[in-house]
Structure 1
């Protein structure tokens, strides 16, 4: 049944109109226990959603909507390995990578847990060889640097985790990332390295990704006369892919090809062999702790009642704003230097999943299915775009994320950091009224006429909603739980809004067009192109031809 036809949907539309006239200040004044009632405390963190424009009636109807959408049934299908990625005919089994599914689950006749455990053991053995100095290049020198070549989920997840776990990095090897087909990035990374001591990890689900394979071929050329290409590929290259036969055909040794499977989506793949750079950076034990933390969130999502289920509550609050209240954007604001890549990671995780306009019934959705995700480190953001958050006509709900325990030994810094985080969420909620502004200006001794002119500019309407996630400590276990929290939130929101969250046809469209256009840059045959694209190709060819002529003349 179309989700918009349920009474809960209609009631929420009506409640949204009323809630636009409510004040968060009043919600707290009316309910002294609000903060406790609208929070969920888990072993890894506190999730406080009390600073949101919801009351008991809204929450009851949001939970009813989740029931009407059969969220619990879809959740059971996810964990049972049903092919819920129906446009591609696949199950969605990334929880299996961290031990979050039943041990009896099979895909294609193969036990999933056996496949996963076998590949994890291979990762562990390889990482131990690297850390023990046994892994050497073709000249016998120890590997000291690893360059991950990947894009999208093969890059954002591992790099985000390694940055987040900076306090847990080991010294045996340095990890570098190259994702951009713009050769400037690869060139800059290679300029720092010695080919005799460098290992490349080529991470590509299909092993055909244009950006990644172009960078891999350029990396191979970089070795020059160090050894033959065949030897270099055997000793200095590792592959992580769901297409091992293509990696083998490229020339990478079979024992250095690590596998994941088509039932793992790229943006949910850091738990698989795609996480090899993570294990290299923090050790296999740290990687295992990351998986275990995610598995604890899997259990919470499966077992907690919906009204105390953190991912479900996050999903409900998000769709309340995007779908009913008309707030189309959401800010991710970490107050933890180590989490500086989290906003970019969550952009892909959520927007590639729920940035859809077609329902499961194949109909055009006439409601918002997911917000625009953006953000940056909170302290930096305060001096960049918080002005917009506080006084723009647009309302942007936000997630504030921090930790109780600092990740460094410097005294005094962390208290200032957390004071800023708490203050910003409070300021967004309360704002500053005209009356309060006038009192403050009068106390400063301004005359009545000066107060009248200046006061409008200092008024902050407030009523800007936010969640706060306060980790006890940022470590591998809690980071795993935090990432899985968002994964399940994305899944729950997609289920309720009746879209398929695990395909990405919009991504595929651009890839196909780029492949077709690339030879036209050389040939100049741009027939059947629109006038703008043809003009851009023509301009490119004129400029490059002119540059070539000047070089020849010189």
Structure 2
């Protein structure tokens, strides 16, 4: 029988609080560097030797995971159980890549068929655009695709596109418009040849204010250009639900469908990410990403935390949040290709587990999701690492690194290549954060160390590795939600500002604050 209980009601949490906290410095040994590694899916590995985890703590974390039945709850989710208690919905983002895994994870074959069907539809569409079978309305071949969406319709797909553009030959250049700030749309549209551009309108409801405003921006810009025989809507593709206003408008070139069982921040492996990535790189590249995600999903089913990287990562994160009291986590990819990945993880984690009530909407009395931030190394080293090294708050660190670069272009300088320098900086930072440096005669140069750090690494950032990396974090967030007894799949905190903004715009609410801040035009 599945039990849902708050973290502070568990025996496992009481046991964790009674344990002595191991020294991060003392446990950062060669033996642990070799033994505290877990395959995370595809060719991705998770190493937690810099986290200060001993055998007693591992046993307690395993006991907590078992008591909270996190794997049983994962299996329930995979079987199509209603897990989004706030919206009374199933949670099916894993299903978008299940067919890549070589085994049937789900019992609901109708929904399985729906996602397979949509993937085939947008794969075929992308191929026709690439071959010139589908042209723009004036007969010119499409060379650019622009995704118009916000939140999960932008952050994940944009991060994945940027992560892959160095390694794979682009069939179409992809660009993104997300913000309702008119400068965002204006700059992108001015950079496009509209006759050779496809716009992807992404909105599950078909009513997202920012997306519709930016669609109108495109229409107005096209009208201003007065292009002969140009039909704007025939340059627009919709990714939406089957019942939305966008889907019901047959003036658009084509619509691909998503449903309410996949939240925006979990939608990158659905049509939300699949359409733009298939158009940009080809459907075979998107298939490789799905294969990597499916492999990570399969690894996440292990009950033994020593074989389950996502669950181990989740448990260590809970330990750092609820036992050590650390309020933040930094995501530090040593890969410029992952420049927007921390922003995606920020939404994934903070929108999912930034909750103060449990899955039954009852107040809880313990800390939940941390603040997430990050930037690529080595840029971050010259920015916020000062605080990470010597600030008054200890911030757990999650490094991401790769043995090889993507572009295969590199040069020696002062005895080593740039990639070697990059990875030397990565290794040095982990060592410096964990071990520190003692300078008792000059505290300005003293580094206390003991700053916990983990590492996710692979030979190269490929589509398959990226899929595993994406799924690792999705599953980590899901597991932490189970441990904290949260509903990680709704986002009521996003809605209030939208409602108030619409009331101000429709003159149903007092706009005094806009007047005071000088925010009204004119």
TM-score by length of 1: 0.87
Q: CA deviation at 1:142?
A: 1.3
**Which range moves more in the overlay, 219-228 or 144-153?**
219-228
Select the residue among 246, 261, 270 that pairs with 1:272: 270
1:27-58 Cα shifts (integer Å, max 9, x gaps): 246xx522233211355122110111322112
* 1:414-433 correspondence runs (5 A): 414-433=419-438
Q: CA deviation at 1:303?
A: 3.7
SS in structure 2 opposite 1:315?
A: helix
**Structure 1 unmatched ranges of 5 or more:** 436-451, 528-532, 546-554
Alpha-carbon distance in structure 2 between the residues aligned to 1:323 and 1:193: 49
Instruction: Indicate whether 1:5 and 2:5 are aligned.
Output: no
Contact 1:206 1:243 in 2 (8 A): no
**Which range moves more in the overlay, 420-429 or 465-474?**
465-474
1:155-192 Cα shifts (integer Å, max 9, x gaps): 11111111000223434321110001011011011111
Contact 2:86 2:359 in 1 (8 A): no
SS in structure 2 opposite 1:278?
A: helix
Contact 1:175 1:281 in 2 (8 A): yes
Q: CA deviation at 1:196?
A: 1.6
Higher-Rg member (1/2): 1
Alpha-carbon distance in structure 1 between the residues aligned to 2:337 and 2:261: 30
Q: 1:540 to 1:128 in 2, by over 3 A?
A: same
Contact 2:77 2:90 in 1 (8 A): yes
Contact 1:244 1:257 in 2 (8 A): no
Q: 1:103 to 1:9 in 2, by over 3 A?
A: closer
Counterpart in the other structure of 1:534: 512
Alpha-carbon distance in structure 2 between the residues aligned to 1:320 and 1:150: 36
Alpha-carbon distance in structure 2 between the residues aligned to 1:280 and 1:326: 45
Alpha-carbon distance in structure 2 between the residues aligned to 1:490 and 1:544: 41
Alpha-carbon distance in structure 2 between the residues aligned to 1:54 and 1:278: 39
SS in structure 2 opposite 1:330?
A: strand
1:97-131 Cα shifts (integer Å, max 9, x gaps): 01268648465xx6122111211111111101111
The count of corresponding residues between Structure 1 and Structure 2 is 506
CA RMSD across the alignment: 2.0
SS in structure 1 opposite 2:184?
A: helix
Contact 2:137 2:229 in 1 (8 A): no
Alpha-carbon distance in structure 1 between the residues aligned to 2:358 and 2:498: 24
1:241-261 Cα shifts (integer Å, max 9, x gaps): 1145411444544x6100011
Alpha-carbon distance in structure 1 between the residues aligned to 2:7 and 2:23: 29
SS in structure 2 opposite 1:120?
A: helix
Select the residue among 37, 40, 50 that pairs with 2:38: 40
1:124-145 Cα shifts (integer Å, max 9, x gaps): 1110111112221221111121
Alpha-carbon distance in structure 1 between the residues aligned to 2:97 and 2:475: 14
Counterpart in the other structure of 1:56: 55
Q: CA deviation at 1:489?
A: 0.4
**Structure 2 unmatched ranges of 5 or more:** 412-416
SS in structure 2 opposite 1:469?
A: strand
SS in structure 1 opposite 2:239?
A: strand
Give the ranges of 4+ consecutive aligned residues of structure 1 lying more than 6 Å apart after TM superposition.
Answer: none
Contact 1:431 1:460 in 2 (8 A): yes
